[in-house]
Structure formats: C-alpha cells, structure tokens
Amino acid sequence: MKLIYDSTSKSPDLLYLSGFHAPDPIIYFEISRKKHLVLNDLEYERGLYESKVDKIMRLNDFIDSKKNNSLEDILSRIIKEMKIEKIIVPYSFPSYLFQKLPKKINKEILDTNIFCKERLIKSKEEIKKIKLIMSKTEKVMGEIIKIIKYSKIRNNYLIHNSKILTSEYLIKFCQSELFKYSLTCPECIIAGDSKSTQPHNHGSGPLKQSTSIVIDIFPKSLINGYYGDITRTVCKGKPDKILKNMFKVVLRGQKLGLNMLKAGVDGMKVHNKILNEFNKSNFITSTDSDKPQGFIHSTGHGLGLEIHEPPRISKAKEILKEGNVVTVEPGLYYSSIGGVRIEDTVVIEKSGIKNLTKFPKFFEV
C-alpha cells in the first residue's frame, strides 16, 4: 500500500494522485492501483465531486467512541480493515507517525523527493495548463518591460511617474498583475545593476540606465497548482559593448541548447555544450573564488506541480524523456559587467521540443 498523510499545498504528489485540493492534511492510500481518500465530514461531499480517486471513505467510519482516536489509531484501523501487509510512504511522511505504524507490517520510506514518478511525464491536458500559465505570464512580462522602456532617465536613474523606478515597485506591480490572472509569485526576481549578478537575488533599490535588469517570473496557478517559468534580461539606455556582447553569447548558448533537446538526450551533454560555447566566447566560468562568476548554475530543471522537479539539465547525467517539461535558462554573471539570463519553458518531444514560450528575446529597450 502507498500511503500519504499531508496537505496538497505541501505534497504535489498528493495533489497529482487525488486531484483534490486539501488545505489540511488528509489520508490517501493506494492498493492494487485503486486510489482512496479518507475525509472528514467537512471535506467528504466536496471530495465526492472534485477528487479523481476510486473511493472516498469517511473518517468517522474509523473512529471508535469507546477507544482512543489518535491519528495513529485511525491508521492502524484502516490497515487492519484493508488487510495491509506492506506500506510505502514518501520521505516527507511524518516520522513520529511512521514509528507508530503497526510493527508487524513491512514499512518502507521511498528515498526520493518524487513519490509519484508518473507526474514527470506530462499529459496533453497538463501541457495545456502550463501553456496557458505561460501565455498569461508573458502578458505580465510585457507590461513590466513597457514600464522600463517608457521610463525617463535622470542622473543615471530610471524615472517612472516622476519617481525613481525601483525593483520593489516593479515586483509589487508584477505580483498585482499576476493576481488578475489567478497566478501568484511572491518571490519573483526583478534585479538590476550589481544585484543582477546574483542569480537568485530578488532585486532591490533604484534601477539605473545602461545596466542589465534580470526579470524572472515563475508563477503558480491558484486554480490548478501548476507553474510557469520565464526569464528575460533587458537594458534601458546604451549598454557597454561587453555587456551587449554577453547578451548575444547567452542568447546563442540558449539557442544551442534548445536545438539539442529531444527525448533520449543526456541533459549533461546539453549543459556542457553551452558551457564550452561560453568559454570559447571568452566568457569563462570560475568557481574557485569567494565570488563565483560566469555560468554558475545549471541549464534547466523540470517544471510542473513544483517549480523545481526532475529532470535536471546540469553537470549530472540525466536522460530526458518525451513528455518532460523543462526550462532552458543559461546565464552569465560577472561583478564587473552585470548579469544576463534568458529562459524558456519547453516540452521534450520525440524528435525535438515544443516551446511554450513565445515572448521575444531582445536586450535594449
């Protein structure tokens, strides 16, 4: 028996398997490929209509008014009634609960962060959901870049509505616009100047002319829980020649990676090919110092009900499969120049990819 006790906000596997949004922890188990949910009266009727499991069971049916009714007691009664001999749980299963499961049964913790590997291969319906999220996110990306494009320049700073334009202003604007589309991204990245050289710096302070501004939006749908992911880098005002060239090199590297991707390809080879292209273009990666510079992160990651899930396109060997949805986001970062990252979300197909990202790639605005 596969057993999960969690909320769907914390367990993408539970959401995928049950199709049911539960804010509080619930019991899910699977026997002989038959899926079951155990719900209290608060959720029972909704579960009947919304879930995609084979059977909904009432929590009350496992409560004995004459005995203890702790969670472990209830689970023990379920195990006894269903005649379970072996239980497999995800690594996130509560340890205290695992220890109190009946000792006579065989218990196993699945040593991976993906309990349900089927969800790594996306169905047409899932791809459709992600594509819709991407199209909405691109509209927000366009509005952000429009503000940057039509800002004025005064004393080296970008000016919007007679005020200095800041990362904080654009981040709040981004979140507000996303919410209109039932999307949320509380930690989106809009980082300029020196902040752009740190890939996960969310950005803060005034935005300046002639410097790179990295805009990375990775929203979650409030409706279905799926994610989208896109990054663009722009510059308002004339950039230095080396910064402009760096953008061209990153764009060339991303195109190289996109052209290599298809089912059966090793992600490590894609990553190394891009890294070699950057080195060949004299944008060398160095990770020896206190400030790593160059191409200092992986090329991409899987995406679905988690923003980061397998497979990875990185230094580690990993074979891509048809139906994987992955990002392709090479970048270069130098404290003396700035940061540039370009990211698309794509579907791995038998002989290539389907790019779910349509937003154009340009630097100067």
User: What domains does the chain contain, in order, with CATH numbers?
Assistant: 2-119 (3.40.350.10), 121-355 (3.90.230.10)
Q: What is the pLDDT of residues 219-251, one digit of tens each?
A: 999 999 999 999 999 999 999 999 999 999 999
SS (H, E, C) the chain: CEEEEECCCCCHHHHHHHCCCCCCCEEEEEECCEEEEEECHHHHHHHHHHCCCCEEEEHHHHCCCCCCCCHHHHHHHHHHHCCCCEEEEECCCCHHHHHCCCCCCEEEEECCCCCCHHHHCCCHHHHHHHHHHHHHHHHHHHHHHHHHHCCEEECCEEEECCEECEHHHHHHHHHHHHHHCCEECCCCEEEEHHHHHCCCCCCCCECECCCCEEEEECCEECCCCCECCEEEEEECCCCCHHHHHHHHHHHHHHHHHHHHCCCCCEHHHHHHHHHHHHHHCCCCCECCCCCCEECCCCCEEECCCCCCEEEEECCCCCECCCCCEEEECCEEEECCCEEEECEEEEEEECCEEEECCCCCCCCEC
CA distance 192 to 12: 33
Q: Give the whole-angstrom CA distance, residue 326 versus residue 267.
A: 11
Residue 290: per-residue pLDDT: 80
Residue at token pair 């196993």: 108
Over residues 18-33, the mean pLDDT reads 94
State the average pLDDT over residues 65-76: 86
Q: What is the pTM of this model?
A: 0.94
Tens of pLDDT, residue by residue over 246-305, are: 999 999 999 999 999 999 999 999 999 999 999 999 999 998 778 899 999 999 999 999
From residue 154, alpha-carbon distances to 158, 163, 240 in Å are 7, 10, 18
Q: What pLDDT is recorded for position 104?
A: 87
Encoded amino acid at 357, one letter: T
Res. 68: pLDDT tops 90: no
Band (pLDDT 50/70/90 cuts) for residue 344 is very high
Express as a percent the part of the chain with pLDDT over 90.
Answer: 89
Closest listed residue to residue 215, CA positions, set 184, 236, 192: 192
* Structure-block tokens of residue 234: 């722009």
pLDDT score recorded for residue 142? 98
pLDDT for 174:
98
For 314, half-sphere exposure in the C-beta direction (CA atoms, 13 angstrom radius) is 12
Q: What is the pLDDT of residue 69?
A: 84
For 295-337, write each residue's pLDDT tens digit: 999 999 999 999 999 999 999 999 999 999 999 999 999 999 9
Inform me whether the pLDDT recorded for 112 exceeds 80.
no
- Binning pLDDT at 50, 70 and 90, where does residue 208 land? very high
Across the range 116-129, mean pLDDT stands at: 96
Q: pLDDT digit string (tens) for 143-189? A: 999 999 999 999 999 999 999 999 999 999 999 999 999 999 999 99
Residue-wise pLDDT tens digits, 5-17: 999 999 999 999 9
